[in-house]
Amino acid sequence: CQTMAKSSFEYVKKFEADDSLLPNTWIVVRLDGKCFHKFSEEHDFSKPNDIRALRLMNYAAFTVLREFNDVLLAFGQSDEYSFVFKKSTTLYKRRAAKLLTTINSKFSSSYVFYWKKFFDEEPLKYPPTFDGRVVLYPSDENLIDYMKWRQADVHINNLYNTTFWTLVLQGNLTPQQAEKRLCGTVSADKNEILFQEFKINYNSEPEIFKRGTLLIRKSVFNKNLDKNSNIIVDTHDDMLKDRFWKDHSSLLLNRSKEILMYDGPVTDI
Ligand code: ATP
Ligand code: ATP
Ligand code: MG
Ligand code: MG
Ligand code: MG
Ligand code: MG
Contact between 56 and 115 under an 8 Å Cβ cutoff? The reply is: yes
Nearest Cα residue to atom 18 of ligand 1: 37
In short, whether 37's Cβ falls inside 6 Å of ligand 1 is yes
Of the two residues 250 and 159, the one the predictor is more confident about is 159
122 lines ligand 1 (CB under 6 A): no
* Contact 133 CB / ligand 1 (< 6 Å): no
Q: Which of 225, 227, 214 is nearest to 259 (CA)?
A: 227
Q: How far is the CA of 92 from the centre of ligand 3 (A)?
A: 27
- pLDDT for residue 146 is more than 90: yes
Domains and CATH numbers, the chain: 19-150+208-269 (3.30.70.3000), 151-207 (no CATH)
Q: Which atom in ligand 1 lies closest to the alpha carbon of residue 54?
A: 27
Does 79 sit in the ligand 1 pocket, CB within 6 Å? yes
Rounded distance from Cα 37 to ligand 5 centre (Å): 9
Question: Which ligand is in closest contact with the Cα of 102?
Answer: 2
The contacts of residue 107 (CB under 8 Å, 6+ apart) are 31, 60, 61, 63, 64, 81, 130
Is 5's pLDDT higher than 70? no
Would you state the pLDDT for residue 3? 59
Whole-number Å distance, alpha carbon 35 to ligand 4 midpoint, is: 5
Q: Which of 45, 56, 79 to mutate to test the pocket of ligand 1 (most atoms within 8 A of CB)?
A: 79
Does ligand 1 lie within 6 Å of residue 78's CB atom? yes
The average pLDDT across 66-88 equals: 96
- If one counts every other C-beta atom within 10 angstroms of the C-beta of residue 158, the result is 20
Name the residue of 47, 78, 118 to mutate for ligand 1: max ligand atoms within 8 A of Cβ.
78
Mean pLDDT across the chain: 92
Count of CB atoms situated within 10 Å of the CB of 138:
12
C-beta neighbour count of 266 within 10 angstroms: 17
Give 10-68 pLDDT, tens digit per residue.
Answer: 999 999 999 999 999 999 999 999 999 999 999 999 999 999 999 999 999 999 999 99
For residue 52, the ligand 1 atom closest to its alpha carbon is 27
216-255 pLDDT per residue, tens: 998 888 888 888 888 999 999 999 999 999 988 888 886 6
